[in-house]
Amino acid sequence: MAKSSDETREAKWLDGCRKGDRNAQQEAFHALLPLLRGAVRRYTRNETHVQDILQEAFIRIFQNMNQFDERKGAFTSWSTRIAINTAINEGKKRARHQGVDQEVHIPVEPSVIQDMALEDLVNTLKAMPEEQHLVLNLHLVDGYSHKEISDMIGITSEMSRQRLTRARRWIRDRFEWSGEELVTKTQHEK
């Protein structure tokens, strides 16, 4: 029942947004903001860039609303993809201008991934080399295939796999495993 209500609400946004109705756009903005903010923060190391990326992403979403096809997927997935692409492109631009990434030093508590505070976990992973962090997010969190990743960020599928492997190694090297997580690690390495 609740799902049906959400779908009705989403259909309303879509109609309104396609017609350029500012009220519908505002409603969609407030509904999408937490989701997109989380996605953008995962891909952005500098918090000051988050707002710029979000703004750009929302403008793209509203300006390209007519390109959204409900038959191909949910509106939230489409919006998230736009936000992620915007964040990736912004990251590329800034990488060109800034050159070397700033190293983030965050103390890692000797705890398992499951027990760690989510905000700390996100910030800890940002200490990873940027290209590995990007592939980790795209593949592990957002579920893109290596082929899709290669198209999105302009690398080969093999390179995407390599980066994911390095990202996993980076995590294993920095987290202390115990209890169930240790078992999980053992199973994984088998």
Partner 1 sequence: MKHWDELLGKRLRGYRGADVPGQADDLWANIDAALSVPSGRPTPWSRQTPFRLALAGSIAAAIFMVLMVRQADPTISPAPTLDTQQSEVEAPPALQADPSDIAATPETNSAAAPSDASSSAAPNAPEFGRINPTAPPVSETAVNQVTTPQEPSPHITATSSQGSTAGNAATPTSAITTSIEAAAATSPVIAPSVSTDNSSASADIQEAPGVTTADRDSEDTAPPSLRRLTLRTASPILSASNAPLLFGNAEDIPEHTTFAIRAFAGPTWSHFSVVDNPEQSAYFHSDNRAGGGLMFEFNGAQAWSIGLVWTDFVHNLQYTETTETEISAPGVVSVVVDISTGDTLSINEGPVAGVAERSRYVDHHNRLQAFSIPLEWRQVRSLGQLQYGLGLGAMLQIRSGASGSIINAEGLVVRYSDGHLSRGRLTVVPMARLFAGLRFAPAWRMDLGVAAGVQRHASRSAADSPASAPPTWQGRLVHSQVQVGLSRFLTRIK
Enumerate binding residues for partner 1 (CB under 8 A): 20, 22, 25-26, 29-30, 33-35, 37-38, 40-42, 50-51, 54-55, 58-59, 62-63, 113-114, 118-119, 121-122, 125, 129, 131, 137, 140-143, 154-155, 159, 162, 168, 171, 173, 180-181, 183-185, 187-188
Distance from C-alpha of 65 to C-alpha of 25, rounded to nearest angstrom: 10
* Smallest gap from residue 146 Cβ to partner 1 (A): 14
Residue with Cβ nearer partner 1 (71 or 177): 177
Residue with Cβ nearer partner 1 (7 or 55): 55
* Smallest gap from residue 70 Cβ to partner 1 (A): 22
* Smallest gap from residue 63 Cβ to partner 1 (A): 6
**What stretches of 19-117 show up as alpha helix (H) in DSSP?**
22-43, 50-63, 75-98
> The tokens 């631009």 sit on which residue?
93
Structure-token pair, residue 15: 């109609």
Distance from C-alpha of 60 to C-alpha of 83, rounded to nearest angstrom: 9
Residue with Cβ nearer partner 1 (8 or 17): 17
Distance from C-alpha of 40 to C-alpha of 151, rounded to nearest angstrom: 19
* Smallest gap from residue 72 Cβ to partner 1 (A): 20
* Terminal CA-CA length for the chain: 44
Name every residue whose Cβ is closer than 8 Å to that of residue 24 and which is 6 or more positions away in sequence. 12, 13, 15, 16, 17
Residue with Cβ nearer partner 1 (62 or 68): 62
Residue with Cβ nearer partner 1 (71 or 91): 91
* Smallest gap from residue 159 Cβ to partner 1 (A): 6
Q: Which amino acid is at 17?
A: C
